[in-house]
Amino acid sequence: MGTQGWRSAALATGMAGLIIGTVGATATAGTAAATATASAPKADLRADVNRDGRVDVKGSSDTPGENTWTRLRGAVVLPNIDDDTRRCPTRTADGKPLGDKELARCHDAADTVVNGASDAADLARLRTVPAPEVSSDAYGTVRIVGRAAGRLFVQRAGKWKHLKADDRLTAAELRSGVELGIEATDVVRDAARWDGEILVRFGITDGGASAKDDVRLKTAPVLTHHHRQKAQEVLVTQVAEVPGRPELVPEQAKFVKDLEREVRAAGIKKPVKKFISYDDPWAQDFVEPGYVSMTGPNGKAHAIRVMIRSAQDRPAGRELFERLRGKDVGVVQVGKGLPREESTLNSTGNLETIPPYQHKGKAYPAGRIIMGERADAKSRPAKSMTTFLSSQGEQSPLLLDTGWLGVGHVDEFVQFLPAKTERGWRIGISDPDAGLEVLRKARAGGHGSAKMFSVPDKFGMSAPKETIGQMLENKNFLADNKLAADRIKANLRVLKAETGITEAEVVRVPGLYARFDMASGAKLGRLGGDAFARLGQGPKTKPYTGASERSRAKAAPAPVETGAYIPGAINGVVLSDSRYLSAQQWGPVIGGRDVFGAAVSAAYAKAGFTTAYIDDYYTYHLGGGEVHCATNTLRDTSQPWWKLS
């Protein structure tokens, strides 16, 4: 359980007593005496406390612990923020785009109607145990205690009806028992204000006697995906040459086509989903896919995907509402938007998830989030986002130092790889020492005059012309890679200490880094982000401007920081537990073979992966990112988040 985990059973029990004693209890001073008589009613409300997907009203499996909540036991309710019938508008009546706040206000829990059978599936169930002994004058009430963000419905004549706090259940309903549904009307955003707990009170009044029974539910946490969850769908942006026109930037269109080929080769059945409206090529950075889940009536997980919009003022985040929101897909906006010039620490390429583990008495069954901070500059991701993530109570964010990187994202040097081991995963880490060793071996073999890059010239641009020998004599280049190696080793020590992972479980992937001026984007004074904005071909082509956000990132504290020199293989996509997609390396070619690409393939092969390659040099690498930055993945949600698999 994370540091912001659910309250303990003992604390919950104590609070239950406090709440019942102080908040609108239905029992009167004479209730205790009344309930002791044979004629007193008995109120018994049940929920899916043991999380098996059904509410037990005949046995006692759902009775113990109904007034407490722990990670392993207690009823779960979903925040019903999807749009099952796609009724939510994205434009005003006169055709103007809705504002961000208006977009976020509409979802299934925004009204008092159950929007069809699929929406009913999003409701957690409660049942009243039949009370055949009540008189014809008896009535019942069911209500949510306090100001929790929840709503109740009752099943009547085969239809779901909104049940208000002062609505009554009839004597006939009390005798037969009723089925209720409950939804949370929002996700947990700040646990200090509301921790997701919903207390439901069922009361029966029969003549001068009354009785009550409470159950305690908890709103399912919004969780981010980890790489032990199977990839089910890949997302990418399709970039137009001219905004609003159908013609695509040819080189980026080729990237999308190549991506589709590799997704099919990995066995992913769903076609690649394309963002088409805002020409923001960094599909990893404006959204973090997440999910909420509970056990459905068939005993299997029922989930709503929750697309977490990054804490930046990026227009592409609107497309989450416009194209992705729908059946079992909701969107969350966290806090106020930040200026585009704000540190890219708030892009969601700076948010990855360690797979499930337990270490030193702490358990993370749903994994644990990592994010980067600029420790030297005391710059962290937006408080609104870290508060939101911490408040979910399951994936307590761990901050790593990314201040040595120009873009500053954790995906530039670390990843997590599924493994057929007891732990179930390994750490993949970028290794500048291994990258330099590839060059030294090539020079020792008599190939010091081989050019560092084999990528062909395009669009009037060319890669650096330095040779292996020249780069190995370049003191600045060596210093850049020593800096990168030292900082990566320091972060790896943190990960080892926090997870218990051993050196034998570390996959070291060759990588090389170089400083570049964040103001001009010039890598080693030669290539930069501005080049990425000049992918035009021919007189009719408008310059490709979608990549500039990374290149304009504020530098803190120094104006010169580090990025991938050869395309960063570590910044790729885990497509399956045996197939990995990397940026094509375009390294030195010796004997007809890219020696850097061969070294990368060998590193992943030791971890059980076949590596596929896709060219992103002019489309993404020159803008400060790679294949992972260009894409996103929706993954399996079937594993119960409260159990260590």
Which domain CATH number covers 427? 3.75.10.10
Please state at what angle helix 475-499 crosses helix 432-444, rounded to 10 degrees.
140
Whether 274 and 345 map to the same domain: the answer is yes
Whether 211 and 241 map to the same domain: the answer is no
What pLDDT, on the 0 to 100 scale, is given for residue 522?
A: 38
pLDDT in tens, 81-90: 999 999 999 9
* The one-letter amino acid at 526: R
- Count of C-beta atoms within a 10 Å radius of residue 267: 12
For residue 359, is it within any domain?
yes
How many domains does the chain fold into?
Answer: 2
CATH code of the domain containing 170: 2.60.40.1700
Of 162, 197, 219, which closes a domain? 219
Q: 462: pLDDT confidence band, cut at 50, 70 and 90?
A: confident
Phi, psi of 322 (to 5 degrees): -75, -30
For residue 558, is it within any domain?
yes
Whether 341 and 415 map to the same domain: the answer is yes
Whether 293 shows a pLDDT value over 50: the answer reads yes
Report, as an integer, the average pLDDT of 545-571. 61
Whether 121 shows a pLDDT value over 60: the answer reads yes
How far is Cα 160 from Cα 163, in angstroms, rounded to an integer? Answer: 9
Whether 236 and 215 map to the same domain: the answer is no
Whether 634 shows a pLDDT value over 70: the answer reads yes
For residue 94, is it within any domain?
no
Whether 254 and 162 map to the same domain: the answer is no
Whether 22 shows a pLDDT value over 90: the answer reads no
Query: Which residue range(s) make up the domain with 136?
Result: 9-80+123-219
Nearest of 226, 199, 220 to residue 82 by alpha carbon:
220
pLDDT in tens, 339-364: 655 678 999 999 999 999 999 999 99
How far is Cα 629 from Cα 581, in angstroms, rounded to an integer? Answer: 12
For residue 528, is it within any domain?
yes
Whether 139 and 246 map to the same domain: the answer is no
Nearest of 175, 167, 96 to residue 131 by alpha carbon:
175
Whether 512 shows a pLDDT value over 50: the answer reads yes
* The one-letter amino acid at 266: A
Looking at 266-382, list the stretches that DSSP marks H as alpha helix, in order from N- to C-terminal side: 318-319
Whether 158 and 276 map to the same domain: the answer is no
Whether 446 and 520 map to the same domain: the answer is yes
Beta partners for residue 151, in sequence order = 183
Q: What is the DSSP letter of 521?
A: T
Give the contacts of 21 (CB within 8 A, at least 6 positions apart): none
- Count of C-beta atoms within a 10 Å radius of residue 202: 26
**CB of 302 closer than 8 Å to CB of 293:** yes
Report, as an integer, the average pLDDT of 402-416. 96
Report, as an integer, the average pLDDT of 543-568. 54
For residue 93, is it within any domain?
no
DSSP string, 151-195: EEEEEETTEEEE--TT--B-HHHHHH--EEEEEESS----TTT--
Whether 313 and 168 map to the same domain: the answer is no
For residue 361, is it within any domain?
yes
Average pLDDT over the chain reads 87
Whether 181 and 244 map to the same domain: the answer is no
How far is Cα 278 from Cα 319, in angstroms, rounded to an integer? Answer: 8
What pLDDT, on the 0 to 100 scale, is given for residue 340?
A: 55
**Chain length of the chain:** 645
What pLDDT, on the 0 to 100 scale, is given for residue 28?
A: 35
- pTM for this one? 0.88
Whether 5 shows a pLDDT value over 50: the answer reads no
